[in-house]
Amino acid sequence: MAEDLSNSPRKASDYRRWFLKGVVASASIPALILMSAFVGFAGLAREAGITLPQAVFMTGMVWALPAKVVLIGAIISGSSLPAAAFAVALSSVRLTPMVVSLVPEMKTERTRPWVLYLLSHFVAVTSWVLAMEHLRTVPRDMRTVYYGGLGGTLVVTNMIVVTVMYAVAGSLPPVLSAALLMLTPIYFLTSLWGSARESAGHFAMIFGLVLGPLFHVVLPGFDLLAAGVIGGAAAYLVHRMRKGRGAAT
Amino acid sequence: MTFDAFDAWWWPYLFILVGGWLATDAWRFLGVYLGGRLRDDTDALVLVRALATALVAAVIGNLIVFPSGALAAAPLALRLLSAAAGFGAYLLVRKSVVVGILTAEAVLIAGLYAIGFNGG
C-alpha cells in the first residue's frame, strides 16, 4: 500500500531546476495583468497617505490584492483597527477554499507541514490560477519547490513594482496621475465579474457597487462592513430564491 | 485605534500586521489545516463568496465615486463613463481584462484632455 513515488533519490540540482521552472512559469499574461494592478495599488497607497516602506511591507505581508485594497479603503475612511481587520478578514475568507483545493495537489507523504503553511502565504488569485494550471505537469515530489519558485517570484516582483511606481507616482502629470488611480477600480470591476462562479457573485458585485458609496455618506467608518454584509446577504438570498424557483419548475 | 491614531513609527506596521497579515493568513493557514476536507460548492461557501465580493465591490464603488488625489478632481460623470465603457468593452470582447482596462483608461485620458484637465 505504500506508494513510493521516488525510486531515485532527488538531488539538490533537481530541486534547483524545478524551483527555476516555477520562477519561469511566473512570467505569464495573468502575471502581467497583476503587475498593472500593483502599479495602480502603488498610486492608491500613496494617495492614502501610506509611506513607501509601509506599502512594500503591506505587499509582502498581505499579498492578496483585494485584501490590501479593502485595508487601504478602511484606512482612508478612518476605520479603527478592529473594524479594519474584520473587513479584511471578511474579504479574505475565500482564501481558505483556494488553499484547501491546492494543498492536495502539492502534498506527498513526506511533505513537512511547515512547508505547506509557508507556501500557503503565496496563495492569491493569480498564483493560484497559474498553479492549478501547471502543477499537474510537475513531478509530485517537486511541486512544493515549484510553487515556491512561482509564488515567491510573483510576490518579490510586485514588491519591486510597488517600490518603483510609488517613487514615480509623485512626479506624474495630473492626467496620468488620475489614470493611475483609475487602474485599481477598473481592474477589479472586470476581474471580479469574471471570477464569480454563480449568479450570487454578480448580484453581490452590483449591490456592493451601489451600497459602498451610499453607506460612505450614511455610515462613515462602517461603510465597507455594512455594504459587504447587507449586499452579500441580499445577493445570497436572491441566488437562493432563483435556485429554488428553478428547481420547482 | 485608526491608522494614524498614534505617532509612533511602529503603529502603522502593527496596524498592517493585525488588520492585514493576520486577517488574511489566518484563512490560508486554516486552509492548510483543513487539507482536502472541504468541498468548494457548499451553500455556506456561496454565502462567504457573496459577502467577500460585495465588500470588495463596495471599495471599488467608493474608489470611483469618492476617489482621492488627482482622480478626485476629474468630473464624476467622466469617472462613471470611463468605468462603464471599460466594463462594457470587457463584456463585449471575450471578457478580456486587458481590453477593459485599456478602454477605461483611454476614455478617461481622452476626456481629461478634452476638458483641459490640470489636476485642479
- Residue with the bigger pLDDT between A215 and A132: it is A215
**Residue A7 located in a structural domain:** no
Residue in chain A lying closest to B74 (CA): A178
* Residues contacting A169, CB < 8 A, separation 6+: A42, A43, A46, A177, A180
Residue A133 has pLDDT above 90, yes or no: no
pLDDT at residue B15 in the model? 97
**Residue A219 located in a structural domain:** yes
Same-domain pairing of A81 and A171: yes
| Residue A236 touches chain B, beta carbons under 8 Å | yes
Same-domain pairing of A106 and A174: yes
pLDDT at residue A3 in the model? 44
For residue A42, give its domain range.
13-194
| Residue B65 touches chain A, beta carbons under 8 Å | yes
Same-domain pairing of A177 and A209: no
Mean pLDDT within A219-224: 83
| Range name among A2-6, A212-216, A229-233 with the lowest pLDDT average | A2-6
Could you read off the pLDDT of B46-84 as tens digits, one per residue? 888 888 889 889 989 999 999 988 999 999 999 999 999
**Residue A62 located in a structural domain:** yes
Same-domain pairing of A175 and A212: no
Number of compact structural domains in chain A? 2
**Residue A8 located in a structural domain:** no
**Residue A4 located in a structural domain:** no
Same-domain pairing of A177 and A73: yes
Go through A76-91 and write b for each residue having 16 or more CB atoms within 10 A of its CB, e for each that does not: bbebbbebbbbbbbbb
Distance from CA of B14 to the nearest CA of A (A): 10
Could you read off the pLDDT of B21-40 as tens digits, one per residue? 999 999 999 999 987 566 65
**Residue A66 located in a structural domain:** yes
Q: Which amino acid, A97?
A: P
Same-domain pairing of A151 and A179: yes
Same-domain pairing of A98 and A213: no
Same-domain pairing of A190 and A208: no
